Amino acid sequence: MLSELILGIRAQSSLSISQAISLIESDRGKGSQLLADLYEHTGNAYRIGITGPPGAGKSSLTHNLISAYRQKGDKVAVIAVDPTSPFSGGAVLGDRIRMTSHYSDPDVFVRSMATRGGEGGLALKTQEVGEIFDAAGFDVIIYETVGVGQIELDIIQATDTVVVVLVPESGDEVQMLKAGLMEIGNIFSINKADRPGANKLMITLQNFLATLSKDEDNWSPQVVHTVATEGKGTDELVSSIDSHRSFNEKQGIHKQKMEERYRQRITELITDDYVERFWDDANCLKLRRELKKNHHDRTSPYDLAKQMLSR
């Protein structure tokens, strides 16, 4: 049964890909087996992260990138983990309709993933879905997330090229500096660059970039002006991504990124399974008994943890 699914994924069947994603989301054991078997077919896709504050136009930009890569003949998969993204169903109807124009193209696959509910291991799951797309032969995988929470940043940091989208009117430059969004950008897209405030944002951004000590690999973040709703600046953005990609490959960073993703996945897998083993019947019972007591009769959680761990 798994071998059939693998054949389907390799043949890029939408049905098989969807089934595989469902499997990952619902059946940890079988999902892991599938990913173990798919591993040898992975390692070819390039991962791009698109992030930025809500309303910056990340989805429109993603839409333009899909078109651009399709014109080059690349197959494109999108993983939208942004609650505000039209891809994941978060925005107004007009946007959503515009976005679906790609859905009829078999070489474009869009998958949204919930940031709510399945909180545990979301970063791992988005990577696993990426592995399936990779094994299915997609050339480019775009991760779109809103750049706010730590989980979202973890997702984006695992990509090969990070594009941070900013808008003039957001005016929240300071806020974003604080939020750690800026440090992870390889490319900055000033979107809606025709609006007032674009120059001010540009200056703020350049001042900020000047304060950065060049990272060890000596990439200087590039700034691109876009008007995503009109498709303006897309070519510049693509060529900026391309040059970061060649840079990555020349400097061995792409390989490092793959190592990091491997490390991240194994760490999460071990954590999940190992901790699950800890909570056997005896330990669960011990905790339940403690919880039945009143607050002041309980052993402190620190002492109880110590006791349980020394068993």
Shortest CB 85 distance to a copy of itself, Å? 10
303 belongs to the binding site for a copy of itself (CB under 8 A): yes
Sign (positive or negative) of CA dihedral 209, 212, 213, 218: negative
Of the candidates 256, 260, 255, 262, the one whose C-alpha atom is nearest the C-alpha of residue 35 is: 262
Measured from the CB atom, the residue of 72 and 306 that comes closer to a copy of itself is 306
Of the candidates 1, 47, 45, the one whose C-alpha atom is nearest the C-alpha of residue 23 is: 1
262 belongs to the binding site for a copy of itself (CB under 8 A): yes
309 belongs to the binding site for a copy of itself (CB under 8 A): yes
Shortest CB 120 distance to a copy of itself, Å? 9
Among 8, 49, 86, 90, binds a copy of itself (CB under 8 A): 90
Shortest CB 155 distance to a copy of itself, Å? 11
Cα distance between residue 183 and residue 197, in whole Å = 22
150 belongs to the binding site for a copy of itself (CB under 8 A): yes
Shortest CB 17 distance to a copy of itself, Å? 19
Measured from the CB atom, the residue of 52 and 233 that comes closer to a copy of itself is 52
- List the 161-166 sheet strands across, edge first: 108-112, 76-80, 140-146, 46-52, 161-166, 187-191, 222-226
Of the candidates 237, 11, 251, 260, the one whose C-alpha atom is nearest the C-alpha of residue 138 is: 11
* DSSP for residue 117: S
Among 14, 22, 33, 207, binds a copy of itself (CB under 8 A): 33
Q: Return the amino acid letter for 17.
A: I
Q: Which two tokens stand for residue 219?
A: 């990439």
Rounded to the nearest angstrom, the gap between the alpha carbon of residue 58 and the centroid of all alpha carbons in its chain is 13
Collect all residues with Cβ–Cβ distance below 8 Å to 275 and sequence separation of at least 6.
none
Measured from the CB atom, the residue of 18 and 32 that comes closer to a copy of itself is 32
Among 213, 281, 291, 311, binds a copy of itself (CB under 8 A): 291
- The residues binding a copy of itself (CB under 8 A) are 32-33, 35-37, 39-40, 42-43, 54, 83-84, 89-92, 115-117, 119, 122, 146, 148-152, 154, 172, 174-175, 178-180, 255, 258-259, 262-263, 265-266, 269-271, 273-275, 277-278, 287, 290-291, 295-296, 298, 300-306, 308-309
